[in-house]
Amino acid sequence: MRKHIKNILIGVFTFTVGMSFSQDRRKDTITTGVINVVKPYTPSISDAFKVKETPTLDDDATETKKEIKYNIFSFPVASTFTPAKGKAAVIEKEKPAKLYDNYATLGVGSYTSILGEVYLNNAISRTESVGGYVSHHSSQGDIEDVMFDDDFSNSKLNVNYTSRLRDMSWTAEAGFQYQTYNWYGVAKSQIDDATAANIDVGHAFYNAYVGGDLAFEDTYINSGNMLFRRFGDNQGSGENRLKIKAVVDVPINREEVSTEIIFDYLGGSFDRYYNLDEELKYGNFQVGIAPSFQLKQDDLTVNLGVSLFYLNDIEAKESKFYIYPNVTASYRLVNDVLIAYGGIEGGLIQNSYYSFANENSFVSPTLFIMPTDQLYNAYVGLKGKVSSNMSYNISGRYLADRSKALFRNNEITNTSQDYSYSNSFGIVYDDVDTFSLAGELNFDINRNFTLAIKAAYYTYNADTETEAWNLPDMEGSLFLDYQIDTHWFTGANIFYVGKRKDQFYLNDGTITSPFTVSLDSYFDANAHVGYHINEQFSVFAKANNIANNNYQRWQNFPVQSIQFLAGATYKFDF
């Protein structure tokens, strides 16, 4: 307080002295001019008086704070509380179905049909396994209006061994197949009962083979496979085929060119020609190389390649060199929704008695075998996905085949052979150009329901033959599989084959005159249903040719009417 009074007195004294000094100057006698100074008014604000946060105390005595000490007395307290541990929520899910390595199937049906199959697979170690299967399918026939035996059977046996190593895996297999059929396609108007009694229309095939596959990791040799097959019949026919193929990557200027190398040998003989009692031999070997290089840029993928083949006809002692294009491309126009693709390819197709007999079981053992020169196979198309569960594929194709093999009904002769009564098929070769339009829709509604629809239309232009024998003008198919629930399942497939042309020989007693006939188109609808009793045991029922059409797949060879078959399947592990 004293300090504030002192400051006030000093201020008053200073103000008084200042006023006295200014009055003395006004009394100056010197005359001076008057000067007026004009300037803008510039107000200012003086600093405000601020109270210090920590004031200075000038008190004579400042009290001293007492130091306070705190003491905490702790002692243990018994507690029975135990906190529960957190637990993640669990989503309920179905128990995964157990997969078994082996199964056995047995079924019986109409026409005294028997279907049996056993598949076995056993893991020897983590890298080795051995397996095999045995199957049999037979029927006693009993087709309406057929005067000869029309039964058939097909039995197969296979054993295989697989080894999977870190840098290499390989598989070896061997098998045997035995088939029996009958040349029952003899029209009643062609022969009398006495002649029919002396005809044995039975025909049996046998097929023995050994082969293997080989695959490498991180080497220039990618893969390879080999197959040797011995095929023959009960008519003295025999055929040997050895095919070896390897795929290697050839480095060229820091790029790799994928190259396929092929060696294909075929040799065989028949006891006779169709109209000549003389042994018929055939044989050739092919050596091919097919390099290709892939280019990718954004949505465009192009494969550039060429196929080179050397053919040596062993029997004719002739050789020839072939060059084919091998170019394909695809472009994603709209991601996976719209993909355009196309290409032009070609190749030397090795025909064989085995391939012909598998396509048409009623061929005669008198075939002339030679390869087909496919000059080019040009195609363009669009494919993609309309949605996550629907895809499509539309394409157009043009093929130019030289020496294309065509099945044609054999003529009626007086050779007294069991297959010479217009009840067998031979092979004729012609230059055929084929144009086709095809479409395909695939539906994967969910993991339990799938549906596929396919259709194709064909036109042919044959060079020397009157028609492109036994080639259909249209084909279509539908496939459906539906897993109804955990126990019930069903499925169906429908095939449509359009009209075909064949040559028919009418024996009028004096002359054999051929003329062209048209085989009607047909539907073949098949369905099956089954029930899983448990994880290992299930039962099923099948119906074939549901429309009950007695159609002819091949001229003079009607098929069985509607057929039923029921059976059971058992899965197991050793």
DSSP letters spanning 445-467:
EETTEEEEEEEEEEEEEESSSSS
Which range among 50-64, 210-224, 248-262, 486-500 shows the weakest confidence by mean pLDDT?
A: 50-64
CA distance 159 to 131: 6
> How many other C-beta atoms are found inside a 10 Å radius of the C-beta of residue 282?
21
Q: Report the pLDDT value the prediction gives residue 14, as an integer from 0 to 100.
A: 45
Asked whether residue 55 carries a pLDDT value surpassing 80, the answer given is no
CB-based contact 518:488 (threshold 8 Å): no
DSSP secondary structure string for all residues of 217-272? SSSSEEEEEEEEEEEEETTS-EEEEEEEEEEEEEEETTEEEEEEEEEEEEEEEES-
For residues 478-485, average pLDDT: 94
- Look at residue 51 and tell me whether its pLDDT is greater than 80: no
For residue 16, what pLDDT band results from cuts at 50, 70 and 90? very low
Count of other CB atoms within 10 angstroms of residue 225? 16
Q: Is the pLDDT of residue 202 over 80?
A: yes
Give the residue-averaged pLDDT of 409-415.
80
Q: Which residues contact 220 (CB under 8 A, 6 or more apart)?
A: 248, 249, 250, 251
pLDDT(64) > 60: no
Judging by DSSP bridges, how do beta strands 500-507 and 425-446 pair with one another? unpaired
With a cut of 80, say whether residue 442 has pLDDT above it: yes
Beta carbons of 386 and 392 less than 8 angstroms apart: yes
Which bin fits 198, alpha (ψ -120 to 50), beta or left (φ > 0)? alpha
The β-bridge relationship of strands 537-544 and 552-554 is unpaired
* pLDDT for 53 beyond 70: no
Please name every residue paired with 537 in a beta bridge, in sequence order, or none if there are none.
570
- Asked if the model's pLDDT at residue 65 lies above 70, the reply is no
- Closest to 368 measured CA to CA, from 279, 434, 254: 279
pLDDT at 134: 97
Q: Give the DSSP H/E element, type plus range, for residue 374.
A: strand 372-387
pLDDT-derived band at 142 (thresholds 50, 70, 90) equals: confident
pLDDT of residue 242: 98
Residue 244 CA to residue 258 CA, distance in Å, equals 17
pLDDT band at 416 (very low <50, low <70, confident <90, very high): confident
pLDDT for the residue numbered 567: 97
In this model, does residue 129 exceed pLDDT 80? yes
Separation CA 61–CA 50 (nearest Å): 26
Least confident of 24-28, 121-125, 339-343, 394-398: 24-28
**pLDDT band at 192, cuts 50/70/90?**
confident
Lowest mean pLDDT among 22-36, 246-260, 268-282, 551-565: 22-36
Mean pLDDT of 311-328: 95
pLDDT confidence tier of residue 17, bands split at 50, 70 and 90:
very low
The DSSP 8-state label assigned to residue 520 in this structure reads P
C-alpha to C-alpha distance for 342 and 380, rounded to whole angstroms: 4
Span 318-344, average pLDDT:
95
Q: Which long-range contacts (CB under 8 A, 24 or more apart) does 199-204 make?
A: 199/148, 199/418, 199/421, 200/418, 201/148, 201/149, 201/418, 201/419, 201/423, 202/149, 202/234, 203/233, 203/234, 203/235, 203/361, 203/362, 203/365, 203/419, 204/178, 204/179, 204/180, 204/233, 204/234
So what's the pLDDT on residue 42? 57
Tokens encoding 216: 């490498």
The per-residue pLDDT for 69 is: 67
Judged by average pLDDT, the poorest of 89-103, 327-341, 424-438 is 89-103
Q: Using CA atoms, how far apart are residues 269 and 549, in angstroms rounded to an integer? A: 38
Tell me how far apart the alpha carbons of residues 303 and 408 are, in angstroms, rounded to a whole number.
38
Mean pLDDT of 478-502: 95
- Residue 14 has phi, psi (to 5 degrees) of -65, -40
Q: Which of 237 and 513 is assigned the larger pLDDT?
A: 237
Mean pLDDT computed over every residue of the chain: 86
- C-alpha to C-alpha distance for 245 and 488, rounded to whole angstroms: 44
Residue 393 confidence (pLDDT) above 90:
yes
Residue ranges of E strands in 67-220: 102-109, 113-123, 128-139, 152-164, 168-182, 202-216
And the tokens for 393? 């594929």
| CB of 147 closer than 8 Å to CB of 196 | yes
pLDDT of residue 30 exceeding 60:
no
pLDDT band at residue 508 using 50, 70 and 90 as cut-offs? low
